[in-house]
């Protein structure tokens, strides 16, 4: 009897492991779970996070977070710029796709030149997040003129009211 009981428990655990692995295997890079690095640049998020400077916006619907843009490669990466900061785009998960928000989070005044991020360096910025699956995206390139631009995206932040 003891062997049968152990066998049943092991079989159930193994089945759950197989199902979990299969479900994770079905996720693609555009799903909310995974970050999408580009040109060795990745965006890491911490939500909530402390204010890194001046954080005057207050709202019950928003949560302050920090985005760390990291160049883990061996060459300089170039980031799209919005004023003095990286041009981070806020995207929300709607109907199975990432949609960029209009308004705060999209750069109305993209500027040049691009921001050079040396190999191994990082930039940290505060960002406000809404109560829905949200991620940040940023155009990056291996050239200062952003001629061969790719988009890096953070993993999603899931917050609940």
Query: pLDDT tens digits for 4-39?
Result: 544 444 444 433 333 333 333 344 445 556 889 999
Q: What is the pLDDT of residue 125?
A: 92
Low-confidence ranges of the chain (pLDDT < 50): 1, 3, 5-29, 103-105
Domains parsed from the chain with CATH numbers: 30-153 (2.60.40)
Neighbours of 141 (CB within 10 A): 19
- What is the distance between the alpha carbons of residues 151 and 42, in angstroms, rounded to a whole number? 10
Cβ atoms of residues 123 and 41 within 8 Å? no
Q: What is the pLDDT of residue 101?
A: 80
Q: What is the pLDDT of residue 15?
A: 36
Neighbours of 14 (CB within 10 A): 10
Q: What is the pLDDT of residue 124?
A: 96
Q: What is the pLDDT of residue 32?
A: 59
């Amino acid at each position: 009897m003891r062997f049968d009981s152990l066998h049943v428990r092991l079989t159930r655990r193994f089945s759950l492991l197989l199902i979990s692995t299969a479900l994770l295997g079905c996720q693609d890079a555009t799903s909310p779970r995974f970050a999408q690095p580009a040109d060795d640049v990745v965006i890491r998020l911490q939500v909530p996070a402390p204010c890194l400077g001046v954080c005057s916006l207050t709202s019950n619907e928003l949560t302050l977070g920090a985005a760390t843009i990291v160049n883990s490669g061996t060459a300089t990466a170039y980031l799209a710029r919005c004023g003095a900061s990286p041009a981070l785009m806020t995207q929300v998960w709607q109907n199975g796709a990432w949609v960029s928000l209009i308004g705060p989070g999209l750069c109305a005044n993209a500027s040049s030149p691009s921001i050079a991020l040396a190999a191994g360096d990082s930039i940290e910025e505060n960002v406000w997040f809404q109560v829905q699956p949200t991620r940040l995206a940023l155009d990056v390139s291996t050239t200062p003129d952003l001629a061969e631009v790719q988009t890096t995206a953070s993993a999603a932040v899931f917050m609940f009211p």
